[in-house]
Amino acid sequence: MTRDWKQFLLFLISPLLLLLVWWWVAAAGWYSDDILVSPAAVWATLEELIANGELALHLKASFFRLLTGFGLGAMAGVLFGIWMAISPRVEAFALPLFQGLRQVPTIALIPILILLLGVDEIFKVIIVTKAAFLTVALAAYDATKGVSKNYFEVARIYHLPKTTLYRKLIIPAITPPVFTGLRIAFSRSWTILVAAELLAADSGIGQMMQLGREMFRLDVVMVGVVITGLVGFSIDKLFKWAEIRLIPWQAAAKA
């Protein structure tokens, strides 16, 4: 058996064990169906939600908010993080406030944003944007600060244009840590979005789970939990796959 197959089998052990324990506890009858629904019932509900199109509608709404908010937050975060790292004035002015806001959990801002923005789409997009911006900005700031000052001295001595400095030096140097920040930010943005949809939304995976709870449909809630976990897991794997393709020297260094 090859090494890849062994790793794949080991990868399957923990999910299969969890599924087996779940099925065994549900079959033992220790808890009623209102408290613990069986995997078979969750699978049947998943098929039902797929067949009637309800799951697709909720996923479409969630993905739109996620991609829009993350795109805005990540782009602004990269630019702001680099700017704050290379400009002493911007750093002195913005860093204290930035570090303070970074310590405030994004979920704690949900009630305030609901009061200011209501529960329309803009609220969900803004909450995702904030979660992505702070994480990516910190990664870009730390990465740019970590670039050796000797490189800047050499660039100054040889009078390199700023475009060449950024294109040939700063961007390649900060790409690996910034990419890691993007991966973390995307996962956080997804969890924050689901939490926001649980509290205030008329669509989305979080709202589907909330409606299931209100109707005492634990099977619907569990479908939402499983989908949330699978989407988060897939996001992480997608970013790791992209890292291997876009930053091959980083992947080789980790091997």
Q: Where are the domains of the chain?
A: 58-250
126-140: per-residue pLDDT in tens? 999 998 999 999 999
Identify the residue with better confidence: 10 or 59. Answer: 59
Q: What is the CATH number of domain 58-250?
A: 1.10.3720.10
Q: Which residue has the higher pLDDT, 115 or 66?
A: 66
Amino acid letter for position 74: A
Contacts of 222 (CB under 8 A, 6+ apart): 37, 42, 45
3-state secondary structure at position 215: coil
* The predicted structure's pLDDT at residue 215: 83
Would the pLDDT of 90 be above 60? yes
Which pLDDT score, from 0 to 100, does residue 178 have? 87
Mean pLDDT of the 43-72 span: 91
Helix 39-51 and helix 54-86: axis angle, to 10°?
90
Instruction: Supply the pLDDT for residue 245.
Output: 76
Helix axes 3-28, 39-51, angle to 10 degrees: 100
pTM value is 0.81
